[in-house]
Chain A
C-alpha cells in the first residue's frame, strides 16, 4: 500500500533562516502532492500543493519541489518567522485515499 515518509521529525531554525522538509512516497500513481500546516490545537490547513506535471511551485516564502522519478518532494520555507512554528504534514494521495506523512515539528527561534 501507499507509504509516505517524512524527514526530519523535528527541525529548529533561527528566525530568518530557511527550513526544508522532505517527503518520499511509494505509489507511482500519486500525482498530487500537498503540504498542510497544523498549529497547536488547530485543524490542518493546506499551505501549498503541486501536481506531477510541474517540478516546482512557489508562493511567497513557501515553495515545493517535486522529483517524480525519485518519488520525493520537498517543502521550502525561506526567511522563517516565529509564526511558521507548527507541525507540517505532507501527503501523496493516490485516488481517494489520503495518507499523511509522519509530520515535522518546526520551531523557529526568535
Chain B
C-alpha cells in the first residue's frame, strides 16, 4: 500500500515553454503533498506544501508564479514550471502525507528529471 506515482519521469523542453508534473496517490487519500527540488548530490529542498482545496504554501525564495501548484483532489497534485529556463533544470520529487496517517511517514513519487534546453 501507500504508492505515489509521479509523471513524467523525464522531460526535456525548450526554454520558454511550460511543463506540468503530476503527483498521484494511488491507494490512499492525501490532504497534504510536498514538492521538493533536488540538485545533484544535494538535499531535498522543500519548494511548497500543497493542501487539497487551498492555495499552496511556498517556501522563501520559491516563486509562486513560476512554480504553479494545484491540488484539486485528495489524490492529485500538479506542479507546473512556467516559462522554463535552463536554470530550472533539476530533479523534482513529490511526496504525500496520508489523510488518516497514524505515523509521520511520507511516501515519495519516483521523481521527475527536467532538462530545459
A residues adjacent to B (C-beta < 8 A):
1, 32, 34, 36, 42-46, 49, 89, 93, 96-103, 105
Contacts and interface: CB of A to CB of B under 8 A. Distances in A.
20 contacts: A1-B60, A42-B110, A44-B44, A44-B93, A44-B106, A44-B108, A45-B108, A46-B105, A49-B104, A49-B105, A96-B49, A97-B49, A98-B95, A98-B97, A98-B106, A99-B46, A100-B44, A101-B43, A103-B42, A103-B43
User: Chain B interface residue count: which class?
Assistant: 20 to 34
Contacts of B36: 100
Contacts, number: 49
B108 A43 contact: yes
Contact of B109 (A1, A43, A45): A43
Interface of B: 32, 34, 36, 41-44, 46, 49, 60, 93, 95, 97, 103-106, 108-111
Nearest to B46: A99
Nearest to B51: A96
Query: Residue among A36, A42, A44, A101 with the most chain B CB within 10 A?
Result: A44
Contact of A105 (B32, B41, B108): B41
A100 B105 CA distance: 13
A105 to B, nearest CB: 7
A93 B41 CA distance: 22
Q: Interface of chain A, helix or strand or loop or mixed?
A: loop
A98 B111 contact: no
Contacts of A43: 93, 108-111
Contacts of A93: 104
Given A49-B103, A89-B44, A97-B49, 16 more contacts: A1-B60, A32-B104, A34-B104, A34-B106, A43-B93, A43-B109, A43-B111, A44-B44, A44-B93, A49-B105, A93-B104, A96-B97, A98-B49, A98-B97, A100-B44, A103-B42
